[in-house]
Amino acid sequence: MIAAVLTTILFALSAICGHRIAMEMGSLRANFWRLLIASAVLGALVFLIWPDSLHRSTFTWLFISGAVGFGLGDIALFYAFERIGTRLTILMNLCLAPIFAASVEFLWLGNGLLPHQWLAITVILFGVGLSIHPGKTGRNTTRRGRFVPGIIAGMIAGFGQGCGAVISRRAQEVEELIGIDINGLSEAFQRVIAGFIVVAIVFAIRRPTHPPAKIIGEKARLPASTLSYWIIGSALFGPVIGVSCFQWALQSMESALVLSVVATAPILLIPMTWYLDGERPPMKTLFGAIIAVQGVIYLQLSS
């Protein structure tokens, strides 16, 4: 349970750091440096300590999982950070991911959904829908006109998260078939490096020149030295330490319980963002988040 709680806290801190650097640097640039640092740290550990954990048969599936989850998913995640903020982005990411995962499993593996799972999905969608329509007082005026693209990006981030998880589970099935056991850090590295390659290609093609603060007429709020700490925090709290704690939790607890605990991260973010950024959520947003998280917990525990 300690590992699951630590994962929840680390994911919430990673989201706060990610939102801060996305607003300062732009989503692509921020995500590029974040995944570069994470790939370097994880790669150094894997090649120095567990070089024999890299297997071609499992690497292929983990690479595809990372390209979808850390590549497509994180590009959309950071794009949403700029436009709808930390709370709504993480709420959509963590609460919609189980729905997309169940849909992919149905289409790919033929695993149909039971009535109680449909009920949980309905509750999740109702809660998320309640949260993403907080009213005029719940939206930042500097993001006016960018709210709908942010919502779409949040949905894509949830798809990347959920689909990437299903493909990752396929890699674990291959591990069992060939009789090997790959530790969580090595799995994280093989997924993160794929995501970094995807982000690097998109970053090289688009090559953004102006951070969002300049686009919407704001001044940069953080000096370069301070910004570097937020970048390192986003990398360490998320792909490096956060994912490691997540894998640690999966080794000691059932996956349904782990995912249920981690699903509470959007609620944990509410007081964090209120304290750090002064974003006081409307009551409708708060109730919607609680409803959506309860739906996710019920879906995980009943599966």
User: DSSP class of residue 114?
Assistant: P
- Distance (Å, whole) CA 32 – CA 198: 9
Where do we find the tokens 């499992």?
58
Domain residues for 111?
Answer: 2-302
Q: What is the DSSP letter of 210?
A: S
Residue 217 has pLDDT above 60, yes or no: no
pTM: 0.83
Render pLDDT for 68-118 as a digit per residue (tens, 0 to 9): 988 999 999 999 988 888 888 888 888 888 888 878 877 776 766 678 878
Q: Report which of residues 244 and 90 the model is more confident about.
A: 90
What are 124-138's pLDDT values in tens digits?
888 888 877 655 544
pLDDT at 297 over 90: no
Among residues 59, 164, 181, which one has the least CA distance to residue 105?
A: 164
8 A C-beta contact, residue 200 and residue 32: yes
Buried b (16+ CB within 10 A) or exposed e, 128-160: bebbbebeeebbeeebeebbeebbebbbbbbbb
**Number of C-alpha atoms within 13 angstroms, CB side, residue 49?**
12
Instruction: Give the count of domains, the chain.
Output: 1
